[in-house]
Amino acid sequence: MDSNMPLHLRHAALRAAHNAREQIASIDAIDDSTLWDMILTKLSPAILSVLCPHPGTTPANDDPNLFFNYGRDLCYLRLVFTLARNSDWHPHLFWYPHIDRCISMIPQYCKSRYYGHAFFVAGILLQITPEQTSDTSLDSVTEQQWWDVMRSAWGYSVHTDDTRYLKLLLVLVDGTKKYMQIASKSDLEQLIENVDQFIEELEGDIRQKRQLHEIGQEIQDSEQGEGVIAAAKELRTAASNMVESFGQ
């Protein structure tokens, strides 16, 4: 992944790490302490180097080695999001510095229709709270930027049928409630539309699983999904009340 390696090899290495992200994130399951330490200390900076432009070059407008690149950055964010689910990775995500890189993506991807990027930026930042680290990177995120991340993330939530995202969605509800206090009426109306669509999608998914009489883990996932739906409905109500207040 080193920036001196050919571009296609660096991107291939990033895709390989992305495909193995669940295994890489489960670093605490590795018994070999030497391997454990090597993965934590070597892989984290190597991943970041893929996003850095090749030294001494000026990329053309269509060069995928640009500072921002849609496909590459989404692959990167999905990888870092998965790593951030394990607190063992948190210090390394700050040190190298992945969190700063994610924050730098907010103006590029969270005020546009790149909803997938916004969802994973939200997932990364919400999983790493200031109380867990002495790093001040999150202090640089403005209230407006937080809101841009929260509202944009809900544009992608209708695609998050993966049960691994359900826990994050509960945190996303809380984060949205916190930062929507500065929202415009039009932003709130769009949020309500996105949340309604998310609720409809998740309720339909739960009904389908029950009709198939799926048991075991699926029952647990359904119960967790119902909790997310209840929280999302509370968010919708709060947003609707704010919209009504604009007319008073």
Query: With left for phi above 0 and alpha for psi between -120 and 50, is residue 142 left, alpha or beta?
Result: beta
Q: What pLDDT is recorded for position 88? A: 83
Q: What pLDDT is recorded for position 56? A: 46
**Nearest-CA neighbor of 153 among 244, 237, 48, 235?**
235
Cα angle at 74 between 199 and 184, to 5 degrees?
50
Tell me if 228 sits within 8 A of 166, measured CB to CB.
yes
Q: Is the pLDDT of residue 150 over 60?
A: yes
Q: What is the mean pLDDT of the chain?
A: 82
Q: Is the pLDDT of residue 133 over 60?
A: no
Coil, strand or helix: which one is 123?
A: helix
Question: What would the two tokens of residue 213 be?
Answer: 């009489």
Question: What tens digit of pLDDT does each residue of 155-211 get?
Answer: 987 666 677 788 889 999 999 999 999 999 999 999 999 999 999 999 988 888 777
Q: What pLDDT is recorded for position 39? A: 75
Average pLDDT value for residue range 224-240 = 95
> Which of the 8 DSSP states describes residue 162?
-
Tally the residues of the chain: 248
Q: Is the pLDDT of residue 130 over 60?
A: no
Q: What pLDDT is recorded for position 58? A: 47
Q: How far apart are the first and last CA of the chain?
A: 57
**Residue 97, preceding bond cis, omega within 30 degrees?**
yes
